[in-house]
Amino acid sequence: MQPAHYTRSRLSEQIMNLPNDDKTCGWYAALPAPKPVRTLSGQQTADYVIIGAGFAGLAAARRLATLEPEARVILVDAQRVAEGASGRNSGFVIDLPHKFALEHPDPAHKQRLLGLNRAAIAQLESLIAEHDIECQWSHAGKYQGAVGERGLAYLAHFEKLLSGLGEPFRMVERDELQRVLGTTHYSRAIFTPGCYLMQPAALVRGLGDSLPENVELLENSPITRLERDGKGGFVLLGNAGTIRTPRLLLGTSIFTQEFGYLKNRLLPVMTFASWTRPLNDDECKRYTGTFNWGLTPADHAGTTVRMTQDKRLIIRNTYKHVPKYGRSIDDKARSDIRSDHRKALVKRFPDLAEVPFTHTWGGVYAISRNFTNFFGQLEEGVFASACDNGVGAAWGTISGTLLADMAVGADSSLLHDIQAVTGMPSLNPPEPFLGFGVRSRIKLAAWNSRSEL
């Protein structure tokens, strides 16, 4: 594959917009204190540098270290591992692509996506077993639920897509749903068996704690500038040190544009979740469902709900365009979102209306207007996986692994598959038209989907 030279922009020449995540992520707060941090200091050199220690960056670092055990690999992140987007999702590892991908006219395209996602799940399951990572990993499957007519129409469309794909699924009616979910709120759901559930922050930290010895993990070490060194390599500048390397891998998702690449091609969107404390004994008696399940909405703008293994209810909905990432959301916005989450909880579980939320948090991810993921070489010595379009855990894992293969010149059928299903995110219109258009579309989707929230 030739470098995508037309994606190249100037290397970073100004102060970057760094991650600014809230400090109220329940998944992260539930973890024990992390190991002592190692930060970037002094002048470092490495054979490979990966920026971003989420699912993609961790997978790339692990794979590079395995393929080239004598190489020095540095994995650097602006935050602690699991504080960023990979530790903030709803804890689904999904094998089936989202509906817009299932609508692709080429059956081979869809089968490649399935194969890539399932390779990621197998890889994660193997690592969890090998390193004894406690992360509530469970082959629980997933429900996709509908409330009213709008949701039922989406569900019927999903049923048609699954039938055409030849994938196993089961239609679940209200009475059976009530026994599983403990609520009569949903009219119908489709159950698909291939999804896994997990505690994302625990999984990401476990992957970070078990990296091979030739990977040096540097946290709380934002890279604020990226330069060419005049010898075909790169210099990464941080607050207290630099790193020189001939090869750079970006597992930076939406922040890839801050390094001068894929500019005006990625849209930063934040979605939000709240969770309760664990249900007490009395509340467990009033709750009539099972534990450890996950439901996503048939209408994509609806509400995701989970009951965790440790008996917490999670509500996730609300989308915001966040051009300044975390700085785009203030305390009032978080309070309003938390109130909306409370309404969604009470609708579904009125007998548990008094159970308090303990944490409300947001997470930023990248989408593209043409729903295309980028994977590949940006220019000589620079490789990136960016824009997961909301399927982060599986896609990040497999794309990071295969990006390492590409960087060292390894070949595989999976590498050919990911190259076949990825491409160039389309250009965005200029501001202020972009912001107005995205905000208007999100508001319209929320209004149309209000019965499913």
**φ, ψ of residue 215 in degrees (nearest 5):** -105, 125
Of the candidates 434, 279, 269, the one whose C-alpha atom is nearest the C-alpha of residue 363 is 269
Q: Who's near 6: CB < 8 A, 6+ residues apart?
A: none
Nearest one of 392, 408, 427, 449 to 147, comparing CA atoms: 449
Distance (Å, rounded) from C-alpha 431 to C-alpha 364? Answer: 20
Which domains does the chain show, CATH number per domain?
5-87+202-264+375-434 (3.50.50.60), 96-196+267-369+437-452 (3.30.9.10)
Residue 96 to residue 360: CA distance in whole angstroms: 28
What is the pLDDT tens value at each position of the chain, 453 positions in all? 445 433 333 455 556 889 999 999 999 999 999 999 999 999 999 999 999 999 999 999 999 999 999 999 999 999 999 999 999 999 999 999 877 788 999 999 999 999 999 999 999 999 999 999 999 999 999 999 999 999 999 999 999 999 999 999 999 999 999 999 999 999 999 999 999 999 999 999 999 999 999 999 999 999 999 999 999 999 999 999 999 999 999 999 999 999 999 999 999 999 999 999 999 999 999 999 999 999 999 998 899 999 999 999 999 999 999 999 999 999 999 999 999 999 999 999 999 999 999 999 999 999 899 989 999 999 999 999 998 766 789 999 999 999 999 999 999 999 999 999 999 999 998 888 788 888 888 887 888 888 888
User: Beta strands 234-238 and 241-245: pairing type?
Assistant: antiparallel
The one-letter code for the residue type at 255 is F
Looking at residue 390, what is its pLDDT?
Answer: 61
Which pLDDT belongs to residue 119? 98
Token pair for 316: 């996730």
Secondary structure of the chain as H, E, C letters: CCCCHHHCCCCCCCCCCCCCCCCCCHHHHCCCCCCCCCCCCEEEECCEEEECCCHHHHHHHHHHHHHCCCCCEEEECCCCCCCCHHHCCCCEECCCCCHHHHCCCCHHHHHHHHHHHHHHHHHHHHHHHHHCCCCCCECCCEEEEECCHHHHHHHHHHHHHHHHHCCCCEEEEHHHHHHHHCCCCCCEEEEECCCEECCHHHHHHHHHHCCCCCEEEECCCCEEEEEECCCCCEEEEECCEEEEECCEEECCHHHHHHHCCCCCCCEEEEEEEEEECCCCHHHHHHCCCCCCEEEEECCCCCCEEEECCCCCEEEEEEEEECCCHHHHCCHHHHHHHHHHHHHHHHHHCHHHCCCCEEEEEEEEEEECCCCCCEEEEEECCEEEEECCCCCHHHHHHHHHHHHHHHHHCCCCHHHHHHHHHCCCCCCCCCCCHHHHHHHHHHHHHHHHCHHHC
Could you identify the residue written with the tokens 């790169």? Answer: 234
Q: Which residues pair with 209 in a beta bridge?
A: none
Report d(CA 55, CA 81) in Å as an integer: 10
Provide the pLDDT for residue 430: 84
Beta carbons within 10 angstroms of residue 99's beta carbon = 15
C-alpha to C-alpha distance for 405 and 441, rounded to whole angstroms: 38
Question: What are φ and ψ of residue 133, in 5° steps?
Answer: -85, 120
Distance of alpha carbon 439 from alpha carbon 385, whole angstroms? 26
* Kind of pairing between the strands at 248-250 and 48-51: parallel
State phi, psi for 163 to the nearest 5 degrees.
-65, -40
- Report pTM: 0.95
- For position 6, what pLDDT does the model report? 32
Spatial distance between the Cα atoms of 258 and 252, rounded to a whole number of angstroms? 9
